[in-house]
Amino acid sequence: MSLTTGEVYWSSVVYEFFGVEPSSFIPGQEAFMAMVYPSDREKVAKALHAMLETGLNDITYRIVRPNGSIRWLHEMADNTSPDNPHIIFGTMHDITAQKALEEKLRKQAITDDLTGVFNRRYFMKRLRQAFSHFRRSGQNAAVLLFDVDYFKTVNDTYGHATGDLVLQQLCSLFKERFRVTDVVGRLGGEEFAVLLFEVSSEDAMAIAEDIRQMLAAKALTTKSGSTCHISVTCGVARFAEDDPTEESILHRADRSLYLGKHHGRDQVVGDGDH
C-alpha cells in the first residue's frame, strides 16, 4: 500500500482468500471494509488508522466472501524498508482451519461428551460469575438441580447403552425448553443443573414443574427401539443476599432435591418448602 497515493496491491493469493477476481474487484479501503465481518469492522478500522500513523499492523479478523462463507485472516504489515519508507508491505494468511480447530478444542474443554451440555467445571465457572454479578447488581437468578429417578433401574433393565440414550434425550428436552441464555450443565452421573437468569422464585418453580411434567408424559426410546418412561426430581434455589458463596446456592438446591427424593420422588421442591 502506498502512503502517498493510497493505492493498494494484492497478490493473486489474496484475491483467492477474498473469493474475488482481479478483473472485477479493485482493492481499496472502502471495498475491503465492506467485506470485513460486521462485528470486526470497528477493530479493523482502528488497526488501519494506527497502521497509517505507525506503519505497523498485526491483526486477526473475519471476512464475508461473496458466496457468504466466512474466513479468518491474519494480517501483518510494516513500512520499515529504508528503500521504500512510503510503502507498507504486508502478508496475509488464511487461518480459518486453525480457528475451527481452536473452537473445536474450546467446546471439548467445556462440554460433556455424552450429552452435549456443559460439563461440571464450566457450569461452576458460570455459577461463580453469576453469583459475583448478583452481589454487585442484585440480578435475580436461580439454580435448578435435576436428578433422574431410579436411573440405576433403567441401566439394570435396559442396559447402559439405553441409560446413555435416556440422558441424551433428557438433554435434548432441556435444550428445547430452556433459553439460550440459560446454562445447562451435567454435574455427574444422572444429575444436571440449570442456571436461570432474571427469574423469580415462582417462575423458577414453574419452569422446573413444566420440565417434570413434560418428561413424565414423554416416551423415551431405548437402544432396542422400544420405549420407556422416566421421572425426575428437582431441587430449586434462588440466589439470596445471605449466600456466602456460590456453593451455598448449590447446597440449598441439593438439600431441596434430597427432600424431594426422600418424600417420593417425581416432584419439584423449592428451598422455601422446608
SS (H, E, C) 169-210: HHHHHHHHHCCCCCEEEEEECCEEEEEEECCCHHHHHHHHHH
Q: Contact 178/194 with Cβ under 8 angstroms? A: yes
Q: Tell me the Ramachandran region of residue 39: left when phi exceeds 0, alpha when psi lies from -120 to 50, beta otherwise.
A: alpha
What is d(CA 214, CA 178) in angstroms, rounded to the nearest whole number?
A: 13
Provide the CA 63 distance to its chain's centre, in angstroms: 22
Structural domain boundaries in the chain? 12-103, 111-270
CA distances from 107 to 36, 100, 191 (A): 25, 11, 21
CATH number of 12-103: 3.30.450.20
- With 0-12 / 13-18 / 19 or more C-beta atoms within 10 angstroms meaning exposed / middle / buried, residue 6 is exposed
Which position among 42, 53, 190, 209 bears the catalytic label?
190
Question: For residue range 151-176, what is the model confidence (pLDDT) as tens digits?
Answer: 999 999 999 999 999 999 999 999 99
What is d(CA 228, CA 158) in angstroms, rounded to the nearest whole number?
A: 9
- Per-residue pLDDT band for 85 (boundaries 50, 70, 90) equals low
Q: What is the mean pLDDT of the chain?
A: 92
pLDDT greater than 80 at residue 20: yes
- Per-residue pLDDT band for 78 (boundaries 50, 70, 90) equals confident
Q: What's the whole-number mean pLDDT along residues 63-92?
A: 85
- Per-residue pLDDT band for 274 (boundaries 50, 70, 90) equals low
Question: For residue range 197-237, what is the model confidence (pLDDT) as tens digits?
Answer: 999 999 999 999 999 999 999 999 999 999 999 999 999 99
At residue 214, the pLDDT reads: 95
At residue 83, the pLDDT reads: 66
At residue 4, the pLDDT reads: 64
198 is catalytic: no
Helix (H, G, I), strand (E, B) or coil at 224: coil
Q: What's the whole-number mean pLDDT along residues 11-33?
A: 91
At residue 2, the pLDDT reads: 67
Question: For residue range 99-130, what is the model confidence (pLDDT) as tens digits?
Answer: 999 999 999 999 999 999 999 999 999 999 99
- Per-residue pLDDT band for 89 (boundaries 50, 70, 90) equals confident
Paired sense of beta strands 56-64 and 70-78, if any: antiparallel
Select from 3.40.50.80, 3.30.70.270, 3.40.50.720, 3.30.479.30 the CATH code of 111-270: 3.30.70.270
When computed from its CA atoms, the radius of gyration of the chain, rounded to whole angstroms, is 27
Which residue type sits at 171? C
CA end-to-end span of the chain = 72
For residue 271, give the nearest of 144, 110, 131, 96 by alpha carbon: 144
